[in-house]
């Protein structure tokens, strides 16, 4: 039973419509960011790029950028390490509590993030830790480390256990096997998990809201400005944030493509 | 070999296991402990009196719970209908276009949720993209489309679309082509194939997608605040208000527990049924 040609084209058109729908709000933000007027109304009469200059020169924006970068950078490194080990336990080895462990890993992903942020705030308060960007790193990790584990697990599932066993039979120690066989094989998974971790931390708002204390990340600042009224810097800073993710993602995808080509060339 | 596998598995699970025990399970237990405390205390070393739960029941908080659950159910149903044809296309029809679609949809996930919702505010508000251009072209404008219940459900559908789409596509990919061809040869109509073959066989994907969407939407906050204005108050917002403006941690904790029990119950039930090894492609 084949789907008819017309049906196929209709489905493709539908897919394009859904994509357009997903990106429409970003188009609005983009247009708003280059409107000259202080109070935005469409249709836009005069365009100007002044807000970008102002945003880039502002000290507030620089501080926010620094905090966001620090948090996302540390979250990335830690979730790559924790996720790598976690994925081996998730997918590769059979051990007693593996099924229960797999379920524990999934729970934080389902959990409402606002509530998680508040629960952590109470926890830090009870233990006696003053919230700052460092506690936000912990909050982000609760959600992102499990995601990194899942991303690396997908790679670890397609891993042939015989390769590790062969290394061991030829006299490699556990550490040698890990360094020479397991890590290189899982590396593409680890790198994509790192990319995921950075981008998710960079854009996260609900977890940061309650756990950054006196510090503030970019999404938090944007939200505060959105709720308190319109500021012409909001669309501009928003687009700068999105632009950063887009550049990183493009770099990641290009690197993946180059890696794939190089490997195909080597194997051919 | 077997013994080493067992030891290594446990050893590698330790870092994330310990971390989640300290930074995920312990805070939830703390919320549970706080929810039993008398009003407006900031430590758990008081006599529990469960009065916060009494407040939750008598002060009409069930309405906000009902709004949250009702709106997320509506969003889940709408998303199922909207995503099914697309998921079907991705699993069975598209080829290369599937990859374009996947990358296109995943990329939106990396844009902060509140920037995307703010984009909808700019699109739908009075003098926004839609109303502004309609007024400029036709000369007659209308009030903005924001600040009502349907636009909140719309926002939920927008934000959680990927969480329905991908599991659904995965589920439909699991429907064997032979089963559909056989049903077709035996004279089944398109609708019968959908109801008798595709729906039951794609059920794992449907279940995961629906659970994920429902659970995430039930705890959502930004959609209501940014798009809904004061139209309705959802449970996550009540929790936040109790903690911040109300300065009543036990009440906030009790409200959070209501959400945690509903969402956690559904999530644990759903995760308990899923065979993760099979779904993620273990060999």
Task: Provide the shortest C-alpha distance from residue A102 to chain B (in Å).
Answer: 8
A251 CB burial (10 A radius; 0-12, 13-18, 19+): exposed
Taking the Cβ of residue A104 and every Cβ of chain B, the question of whether any pair is shorter than 8 Å is answered with yes
**Closest C-alpha to A116, from B60, B264, B62:** B264
- Residue-averaged pLDDT of chain A: 84
Contacts of A92 in chain B (CB under 8 A): 9
Q: What are phi and psi of A192, to 5 degrees?
A: -70, -35
Q: How far apart are CA B68 and CA B216, in angstroms?
A: 11
What are the structural domains of chain B? 52-279 (1.10.3720.10)
Q: What is the pLDDT of residue A36?
A: 67
Most confident of A35-39, A177-181, A229-233, B13-17: B13-17
Q: Cα torsion for B274, B113, B228, B31, to the nearest 10°?
A: 60
Of B97, B109, B280, nearest to A153 by CB-CB distance is B280
Residues 243-262 of B with CB under 8 A from A: 243, 249, 252-253, 256, 259-260
Task: Provide the shortest C-alpha distance from residue B234 to chain A (in Å).
Answer: 12
pLDDT band at B1 (very low <50, low <70, confident <90, very high): low
Please give the class, per CATH, of domain A62-215.
Answer: mainly alpha
Residue B283 in this model has a pLDDT that exceeds 60: no
pLDDT band at A241 (very low <50, low <70, confident <90, very high): confident
Q: What is the pLDDT of residue A159?
A: 76
**Closest C-alpha to A218, from B115, B160, B220, B109:** B115
Could you read off the pLDDT of A155-182 as tens digits, one per residue?
Answer: 888 777 788 888 888 888 888 888 888 8
A242 CB burial (10 A radius; 0-12, 13-18, 19+): buried
pLDDT band at A221 (very low <50, low <70, confident <90, very high): confident
Average pLDDT over residues A97-122: 87
* 3 state DSSP class of A47: strand
Average pLDDT over residues B78-101: 88
Q: What is the pLDDT of residue A268?
A: 63
Could you read off the pLDDT of A242-265 as tens digits, one per residue?
Answer: 888 888 888 888 887 888 788 788
pLDDT band at A98 (very low <50, low <70, confident <90, very high): confident
CB B114 within 8 A of CB A219: yes
Average pLDDT over residues B75-99: 89
Tokens of B274: 């899923």
Instruction: Work out the percent of chain A whose per-residue pLDDT is above 70.
Output: 94
Instruction: Work out the percent of chain A whose per-residue pLDDT is above 90.
Output: 17
Average pLDDT over residues A41-58: 72
Q: How far apart are CA B266 and CA B283, in angstroms?
A: 29
- Stretch among A92-106, B136-150, B174-188 having the lowest mean pLDDT: B136-150
Q: Are B115 and A29 a contacting pair at CB < 8 A?
A: yes
Q: How far apart are CA B122 and CA B110, in angstroms?
A: 20
Average pLDDT over residues A206-227: 85
- Stretch among A11-15, A116-120, A237-241 having the lowest mean pLDDT: A237-241
Q: What is the pLDDT of residue B140?
A: 74
Residue B153 in this model has a pLDDT that exceeds 90: yes
Q: What is the pLDDT of residue A53?
A: 75
Task: Provide the shortest C-alpha distance from residue B58 to chain A (in Å).
Answer: 22
Q: What is the pLDDT of residue A145?
A: 93
CB A140 within 8 A of CB A116: no
Average pLDDT over residues B67-72: 92
pLDDT band at A71 (very low <50, low <70, confident <90, very high): very high
- Stretch among A72-86, B20-34, B102-116 having the lowest mean pLDDT: B102-116
Q: Which long-range contacts (CB under 8 A, 24 or more apart) does A48-56 make?
A: A51/A232, A51/A233, A51/A235, A51/A236, A52/A236, A52/A240, A54/A233, A54/A236, A55/A233, A55/A236, A55/A237, A55/A240, A56/A240
Alpha helices in chain A (DSSP H): 5-33, 50-57, 59-87, 98-110, 113-127, 133-157, 161-169, 174-177, 183-203, 206-211, 218-228, 233-267
Taking the Cβ of residue B208 and every Cβ of chain A, the question of whether any pair is shorter than 8 Å is answered with no
- Angstrom CA distances, B273 to A151, A192, B17, B188, B235, stand at 21, 28, 22, 31, 27
DSSP string, chain B: -HHHHHHHHHHHHHHHHHHHIIIIIHHHHHHHHHTTSPTT-SSS-S----HHHHHHHHTTTHHHHHHHHHHHHHHHHHHHHHHHHHHHIIIII-THHHHHHHHHHHHHHTS-HHHHHHHHHHHHSTTSHHHHHHHHHHS-----S-SSHHHHHHHHHHHHHHHHHHHHHHHHHTS-HHHHHHHHHTT--HHHHIIIIIHHHTHHHHHHHHHHHHHHHHT--HHHHHHHTTS---HHHHHHHHHTTS--HHHHHHHHHHHHHHHHHHHHHHHHH--HHHHTT--
Q: Are A114 and B101 a contacting pair at CB < 8 A?
A: no
Between B213 and B278, name the one with better pLDDT.
Answer: B213
Q: Are A93 and B12 a contacting pair at CB < 8 A?
A: yes
Contacts of A235 in chain B (CB under 8 A): 118, 122
Structural domain spans, chain A: 62-215
Residue B103 in this model has a pLDDT that exceeds 70: yes
Q: Are B110 and A27 a contacting pair at CB < 8 A?
A: no
- Angstrom CA distances, B169 to B91, B102, B109, stand at 5, 10, 17
Cβ neighbours for B237, distance < 8 A, ≥ 6 positions apart? B64, B221, B224, B225
Could you read off the pLDDT of B166-224 as tens digits, one per residue?
Answer: 888 888 888 888 888 888 888 888 888 888 888 888 888 888 889 889 988 888 888 88
- Stretch among A174-178, A227-231, B163-167 having the lowest mean pLDDT: A227-231
């Amino acid at each position: 039973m084949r789907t008819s040609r017309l049906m196929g084209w209709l489905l493709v058109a539908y897919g394009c419509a859904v994509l357009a729908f997903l990106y429409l709000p970003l188009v609005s933000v983009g247009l708003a960011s280059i409107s000259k007027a202080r109070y935005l109304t469409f249709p836009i009469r005069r365009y100007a790029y002044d807000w970008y200059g102002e945003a880039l020169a502002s000290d507030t924006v620089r501080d926010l950028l620094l905090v966001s970068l620090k948090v996302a950078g540390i979250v990335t490194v830690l979730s790559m390490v924790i996720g790598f080990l976690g994925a081996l336990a998730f997918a590769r080895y059979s051990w007693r509590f593996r099924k229960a462990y797999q379920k524990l890993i999934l729970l934080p992903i389902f959990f409402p993030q606002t509530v998680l942020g508040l629960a952590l705030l109470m926890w830090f308060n009870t233990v006696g830790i003053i919230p700052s960007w460092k506690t936000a790193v912990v909050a982000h990790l609760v959600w992102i480390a499990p995601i990194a584990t899942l991303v690396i697990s997908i790679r670890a599932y397609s891993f042939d256990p015989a390769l590790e066993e062969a290394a061991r039979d030829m006299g490699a120690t556990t550490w040698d096997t890990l360094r020479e066989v397991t890590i290189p094989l899982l590396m593409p998974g680890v790198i994509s998990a790192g990319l995921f971790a950075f981008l998710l931390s960079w854009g996260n708002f609900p977890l940061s809201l309650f756990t950054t204390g006196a510090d503030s990340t970019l999404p938090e600042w944007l939200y505060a400005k959105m709720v308190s009224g319109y500021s012409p810097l909001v669309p501009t800073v928003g687009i700068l944030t999105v632009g950063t993710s887009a550049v990183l993602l493009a770099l990641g995808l290009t690197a993946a493509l180059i890696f794939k080509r190089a490997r195909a060339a080597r194997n051919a | 070999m077997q013994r080493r596998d067992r030891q290594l598995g446990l050893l590698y699970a330790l870092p994330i296991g310990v971390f989640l025990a300290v930074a995920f399970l312990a805070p939830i237990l703390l919320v549970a402990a706080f929810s039993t405390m008398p009003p407006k205390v900031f430590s758990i070393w008081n006599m529990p009196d469960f009065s916060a739960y009494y407040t939750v029941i008598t002060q009409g908080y069930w309405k906000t719970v009902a709004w949250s659950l009702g709106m997320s159910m509506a969003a889940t149903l709408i998303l199922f209908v909207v995503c099914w044809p697309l998921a079907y296309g991705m699993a069975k029809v598209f080829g290369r276009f599937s990859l374009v679609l996947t990358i296109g949809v995943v990329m939106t996930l990396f844009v902060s949720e509140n920037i995307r919702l703010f984009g909808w505010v700019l699109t739908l508000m009075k003098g926004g993209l839609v109303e502004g251009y309609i007024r400029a072209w036709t000369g007659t404008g209308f009030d903005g489309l924001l600040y009502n219940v349907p636009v909140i459900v719309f926002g939920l559908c927008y934000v959680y679309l990927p969480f329905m789409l991908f599991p659904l596509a995965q589920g439909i990919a699991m429907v064997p082509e032979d089963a559909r061809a056989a049903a077709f040869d035996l004279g089944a109509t398109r609708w019968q194939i959908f109801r008798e073959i595709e729906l039951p066989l794609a059920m794992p994907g449907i279940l995961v997608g629906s659970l994920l969407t429902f659970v995430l939407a039930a705890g959502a906050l930004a959609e209501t605040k940014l798009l809904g204005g004061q139209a309705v108050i959802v449970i996550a917002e009540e929790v936040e208000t109790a903690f911040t403006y109300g300065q009543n941690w036990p009440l906030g904790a009790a409200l959070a527990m209501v959400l945690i029990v509903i969402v956690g119950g559904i999530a644990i039930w759903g995760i308990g049924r899923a065979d993760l090894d099979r779904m993620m492609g273990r060999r």
